[in-house]
């Protein structure tokens, strides 16, 4: 039996569309923040929050929850949007992003918003924290899984490879890392700034089980996370090929949209592009 | 507490490095609370982490030479609910991994215990690269962080046990050399509570310090007493939060303060004391500390003399302070 029925897949696609629409509105309201990365990861966050994670929005600190650690904290708008839509907090609060007194800081702070798991932003240390949580959980024979989302640019940080060595050596099979392989970073394309390839071979050499997927294909996302459960000897890294700015054709692949928000006018245009209706769920929007 | 003053010379006085106190304390803490784990970065013997490893092999985690990972993996353990002690030399932990400590431990506000061994010039022959002199400053500037340097091995044991239970990010600073044990099992220890190690009647100058170098102040105090100069010697083992009440009371009853620490004058205990007194009770302050220089190889005695940390330097500082008061 497939993990996803057509109906499931359409539902998740609709969720991803909602996430994109909400985060565009959030960024335009905030007037600052990153756009391309969050849009590119909307499908993966929809799959995580609405299919893969074992979690409870009503009890964000439930001790048996799966842990989702966001290492590249700058794409946090996509996480906030997914959390709001999953019911962690009202969507009206999502619009307080980056404003004074908001629980939705420009970069995520664990103490302010239950469910964030870690405080992040400075790149390169999320995988270490995920590995620490996974190791500690295994000591206590906990069943939950630890997921860590990273950017590709941060694979240039030495701390990542210290963590990769540690997780590989300790066979942290309850740890699944997902790399947003969108090929852009602030100064341009990753392979021009400081090449990462062959990225998959590097993780293999560090003792990881590796998978490569299309980060916009729901079935591949869900399958990859599920198959990682069946790997008993190694941590798993999923290299998810994504399109920065995905969902808004005007800005797809454009690294200049890495670190800026849309203006109000641009946001209106982007929202129309996001709402293609292609994701309409049979029987729901008919 | 002992009241002998010339303790550094006394051949019969017991000596041990403060890192030994950590080694004992962390084993005791581990027995009391099974959440305690020790993370090590390839320095098991010299940090005494191996004492814990022998007792609790499954709760000892080896990181290899990777101090940034040490800090952030430690944060992960604490986020989960463990009480991790992350151990290395102070030059690297919190020296090399400062940003990881700032973001994943201090801002994240998780109870990781950062243990910096071999702090100060008293590392001796290893030289400047391994002589951390800025670590108190680095840690003291971080919100949420508690900063402690025990005076001797016995206090180090107690500080380690107390830190395991305080529920907060905490920096514990330890030293390499065997130094006099001037406190006893009965000497009270409470985080954030300093105390007078020794006090003349009606002291003129207060000597406020932390760490084993403060035993030099005890020797200085005795020699000063013989010359009719009355001091009180305060062990301010917790640099943050500073014992403001004790400091204020001491300031009111003395004419000046001399701070003593094996650290840069900039940013250390002396700075903390000066910030407080400048605000609440301005008075002459002299700083016995390293003044904007790196360390170098040598014996502890040579280095204390060179960097102005020995009893002679402390007596000179007291004299300057009196002159200004």
DSSP B130-141: G-B-SHHHHHHT
Nearest chain A residue to B36, by CA: A136
Q: What is the predicted pLDDT for the residue at B8?
A: 55
Q: What is the average pLDDT value for chain A, to the nearest integer? A: 94
Cis, bond preceding A198 (omega within 30 deg of 0): yes
Q: What is the predicted pLDDT for the residue at A3?
A: 81
* Phi, psi dihedral angles at A233 (to 5 degrees): -105, -10
Nearest chain A residue to B105, by CA: A119
Q: Which of A66, A129, A137, A170 to mutate to test the interface with B (most CBs of B within 10 A)?
A: A129
Q: Partners of A148 in the beta sheet?
A: A69, A177
Angstrom distance (rounded) from CA B181 to CA B15: 5
Nearest chain B residue to A148, by CA: B76
Domain with CATH 3.40.50.970 in chain B: 15-180
Is residue A134 within 8 Å of A143, Cβ to Cβ?
no
In a domain, A279, yes or no: no
Angstrom distance (rounded) from CA B69 to CA A163: 6
Is residue A146 within 8 Å of A67, Cβ to Cβ?
yes
The burial class, CB within 10 Å (0-12 / 13-18 / 19+), for A150 is: buried
Q: What is the predicted pLDDT for the residue at B233?
A: 98
Q: Which of B64, B72, B78 sits opposite A125 (nearest CB)?
A: B72
Residues of A with CB under 8 A from a CB of B: 109-111, 117-122, 124-126, 128-137, 139, 158-159, 162-163, 165-166
B246 vs chain A: nearest CA distance in angstroms? 32
In a domain, A159, yes or no: yes
- Say how many C-beta atoms besides its own lie within 10 A of residue A90's C-beta: 9
Contact list in A for residue B167 (CB cut-off 8 A) is: none
Interchain contact, B73 vs A129, CB within 8 Å: yes
Interchain contact, A128 vs B79, CB within 8 Å: no
The number of distinct structural domains making up chain A is 1
Interchain contact, B64 vs A166, CB within 8 Å: yes
pLDDT band at residue A285 using 50, 70 and 90 as cut-offs: very low
Going from the C-alpha of B95 to that of each of B61, B68, B89, B176, the distances in angstroms are 21, 10, 9, 17
Is residue B121 within 8 Å of B307, Cβ to Cβ?
yes
Whole-structure pTM value: 0.94
Residue ranges, chain B, pLDDT below 50 = 1-6
Q: Which residues contact B182 (CB under 8 A, 6 or more apart)?
A: B1, B2, B7, B151, B152, B197, B215, B218
Give the mean model confidence (pLDDT) for residues A242-249. 95
Nearest chain A residue to B106, by CA: A119
Q: What is the predicted pLDDT for the residue at B10?
A: 63
In a domain, A285, yes or no: no
Where do runs of H (alpha helix) occur along A41-169?
42-47, 76-86, 91-94, 126-139, 158-169
Angstrom distance (rounded) from CA B31 to CA B288: 39
Interchain contact, A131 vs B58, CB within 8 Å: no
Q: What is the predicted pLDDT for the residue at B5?
A: 43
Going from the C-alpha of B243 to that of each of A212, B170, B234, B249, B325, the distances in angstroms are 56, 16, 11, 10, 23
Domain with CATH 3.40.50.920 in chain B: 195-324
The burial class, CB within 10 Å (0-12 / 13-18 / 19+), for B28 is: middle
**What is the third-level CATH fold of B195-324?**
Rossmann fold (3.40.50)
**What is the DSSP-derived secondary structure letter of residue B57?**
G
Interchain contact, A128 vs B81, CB within 8 Å: no
Query: Is the pLDDT assigned to residue A282 strictly greater than 60?
Result: no
Going from the C-alpha of B151 to that of each of A24, A187, B155, B209, the distances in angstroms are 56, 50, 6, 9
| Domain residue limits at A118 | 6-274
Contact list in B for residue A130 (CB cut-off 8 A) is: 76
Query: Is the pLDDT assigned to residue A61 strictly greater than 50?
Result: yes
Interchain contact, B77 vs A163, CB within 8 Å: no
Query: Is the pLDDT assigned to residue A279 strictly greater than 60?
Result: no
Q: What is the predicted pLDDT for the residue at A255?
A: 82
A225 vs chain B: nearest CA distance in angstroms? 21
Q: What is the predicted pLDDT for the residue at A286?
A: 33
Contact list in A for residue B84 (CB cut-off 8 A) is: 132
Q: Residues A112-154: pLDDT tens digits?
A: 999 999 999 999 999 999 999 999 999 999 999 999 999 999 9
Interchain contact, B107 vs A119, CB within 8 Å: yes
Per DSSP, the residues of A187-252 read TEEHHHHS---SHHHHHHHTT-EEEEEETT-HHHHHHHHHHHHT--SS-EEEEEE--TTTT-TTTT
**What is the third-level CATH fold of B15-180?**
Rossmann fold (3.40.50)
CATH of the domain at A157: 3.40.50.970
Strands (E), A127-198: 146-151, 175-181, 184-185, 188-189
Q: Which of A110, A128, A133 sits opposite B69 (nearest CB)?
A: A128
Angstrom distance (rounded) from CA B290 to CA B217: 16
Angstrom distance (rounded) from CA A209 to CA A119: 27
Interchain contact, B104 vs A158, CB within 8 Å: no
A11 vs chain B: nearest CA distance in angstroms? 32
Residues of B annotated as part of the active site: 67
Q: What is the predicted pLDDT for the residue at A281?
A: 47
């Amino acid at each position: 039996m497939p993990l996803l029925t057509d109906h499931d897949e359409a539902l998740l696609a609709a969720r991803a569309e909602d996430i994109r629409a909400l985060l565009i509105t959030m960024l335009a309201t905030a007037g600052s923040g990153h756009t391309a990365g969050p849009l590119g990861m909307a499908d993966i966050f929809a799959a995580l929050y609405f299919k893969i994670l074992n979690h409870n929005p009503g009890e964000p600190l439930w001790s048996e929850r799966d842990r989702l650690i966001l290492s590249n904290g700058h794409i946090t708008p996509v996480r906030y949007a997914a959390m709001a839509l999953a019911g962690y907090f009202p969507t009206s609060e999502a619009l307080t992003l980056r404003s004074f007194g908001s629980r939705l800081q420009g970069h995520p702070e664990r103490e302010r918003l239950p469910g964030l798991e870690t405080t992040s932003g400075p790149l390169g240390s999320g995988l270490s924290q995920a590995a620490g949580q996974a190791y500690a959980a295994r000591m206590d024979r906990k069943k939950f899984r630890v997921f860590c989302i990273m950017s590709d640019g941060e694979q240039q940080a030495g701390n990542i490879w210290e963590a990769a060595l540690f997780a590989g050596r300790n066979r942290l099979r309850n740890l699944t890392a997902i790399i947003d392989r969108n090929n852009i970073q602030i100064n341009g394309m990753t392979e021009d700034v400081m090449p990462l390839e062959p990225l998959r071979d590097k993780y293999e050499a560090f003792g990881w089980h590796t998978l490569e997927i299309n980060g916009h294909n729901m079935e591949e996302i869900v399958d990859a996370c599920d198959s990682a459960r069946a790997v008993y000897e190694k941590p798993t890294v999923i290299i998810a090929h994504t399109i920065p700015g995905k969902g808004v054709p005007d800005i797809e692949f454009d690294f200049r949209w890495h670190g800026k928000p849309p203006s109000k006018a641009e946001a209106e245009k982007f929202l129309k592009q996001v709402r293609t209706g292609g994701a309409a769920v049979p029987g729901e929007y008919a | 507490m002992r009241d002998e003053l010339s303790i550094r010379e006394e051949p019969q006085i017991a000596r041990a490095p403060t890192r030994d106190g950590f080694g004992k304390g962390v084993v005791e803490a581990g027995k009391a609370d099974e959440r305690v784990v020790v993370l090590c970065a390839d320095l098991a013997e010299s940090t005494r982490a191996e004492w814990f490893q022998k007792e609790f092999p499954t709760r000892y985690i080896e990181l290899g030479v990777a101090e940034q990972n040490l800090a952030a993996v430690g944060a992960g353990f604490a986020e989960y609910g463990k009480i991790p002690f992350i151990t290395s030399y102070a030059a690297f932990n919190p020296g090399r991994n400062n940003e990881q400590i700032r973001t994943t431990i201090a801002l994240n506000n998780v109870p990781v215990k950062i243990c910096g061994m071999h702090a100060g010039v008293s590392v001796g022959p290893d030289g400047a690269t391994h002589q951390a002199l800025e670590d108190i400053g680095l840690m003291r500037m971080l919100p949420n962080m508690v900063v402690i340097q025990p005076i001797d091995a016995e206090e180090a044991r107690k500080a380690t046990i107390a830190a395991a239970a305080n529920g907060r990010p905490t920096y514990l600073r330890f030293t390499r050399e065997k130094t006099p044990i001037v406190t006893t099992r009965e000497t009270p220890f409470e985080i954030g509570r300093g105390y007078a190690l020794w006090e003349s009647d009606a002291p003129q100058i207060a000597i406020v310090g932390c760490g084993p170098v403060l035993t030099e102040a005890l020797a200085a105090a005795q020699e000063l007493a013989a010359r009719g100069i009355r001091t009180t010697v305060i062990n301010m083992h917790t640099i943050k939060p500073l014992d403001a009440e004790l400091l204020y009371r001491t300031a009111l009853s003395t004419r000046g303060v001399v701070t003593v620490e094996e650290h840069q004058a900039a940013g250390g205990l002396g700075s903390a004391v000066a910030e407080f007194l400048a605000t609440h009770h301005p008075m002459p302050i002299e700083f016995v500390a390293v003044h904007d220089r790196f360390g170098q190889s040598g014996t502890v005695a040579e280095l204390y003399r060179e960097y102005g940390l020995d009893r002679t330097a402390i007596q000179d500082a007291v004299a300057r302070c009196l002159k200004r008061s």
